Structures are given as structure tokens and as C-alpha cells.
Amino acid sequence: MDKSILRQAQQLQAKLAKAQEELGNMTVEATSGGGAFKVVIDGHQKVRSVDISPEVVEAKDVELLQDLVTAGVNEAITKSQELASKHLSSLTGGLNIPGLF
């Protein structure tokens, strides 16, 4: 195998590892219910924080709260996946590497 190809692969692997680490420090925010629910999630799709407006925390509104949480978390995960894809694709030159995104 050509040593320059191996070296390039090792360099790409190091860059991807660094990018993965950087993603852990990047966050996206999503809201639902006109801001009644807010979730912050990082580039590894880990929820960092949840903020629920006191107005929606009533026993009779449990279903509404559940819907707000579901919608907000799903939106945050989508944004986080888009962030990861955008961040990592800049390193791979647009190559679609299975399992990376």
C-alpha cells in the first residue's frame, strides 16, 4: 500500500476524532409551544438542559406538556444531527462515510 495514502488516512482519522470532540462542545437549542419548552442538546445528541415555563405545569395540562417535550426534543435532535453532518462533512470533502453521520 502506498505510504502517502496511509498517511492521508491517518491524518483524516485524527481530524475526524478532533471534530467529534468539538461536536461534544457545540450545542443547539430548540423550543416548542411558543417558547414554553426549551431544550439544549450537544453535537453528540445528549440533552444538556431542559427549561419548562411554569405556566404549562398544571395537572390538567400533562398531555400538553408531554407533547411540548416530545416536539422540542425531536427538533433539537434533528438540529444536532444537522450540526454534526455539516461539521464533519467539511472534513470529509462531502464523502458519505457510512456510520459517520
97 within some domain: no
Give me the CATH number covering residue 77.
3.30.1310.10
Report yes or no on 49 lying in a domain: yes
Residue 36 lies in a domain: yes
Domain that holds residue 34: 3-92
Q: Is the pTM of this model over 0.85?
A: no
101: pLDDT strictly greater than 60 = no
pLDDT of 40-99, one tens digit each? Answer: 988 888 888 888 888 878 767 778 888 888 888 888 899 888 888 888 787 766 555 555
Is 101 part of any domain? no
Residue 46 domain-assigned (yes or no): yes
pLDDT at 63: 82
Question: Within a domain: residue 14?
Answer: yes
pLDDT digits (tens, 9 = 90+) for 4-54: 888 888 888 888 888 888 888 999 999 988 998 898 988 888 888 888 888
In a domain, 98, yes or no: no
d(CA 21, CA 8): 20
> Which distant-in-sequence residues (6+ apart) come within 8 Å of 41 by Cβ?
27, 28, 29, 30, 47, 48, 73, 76, 77, 79, 80
Count the domains in the chain.
Answer: 1
Asked whether residue 100 is domain-assigned, the answer is no
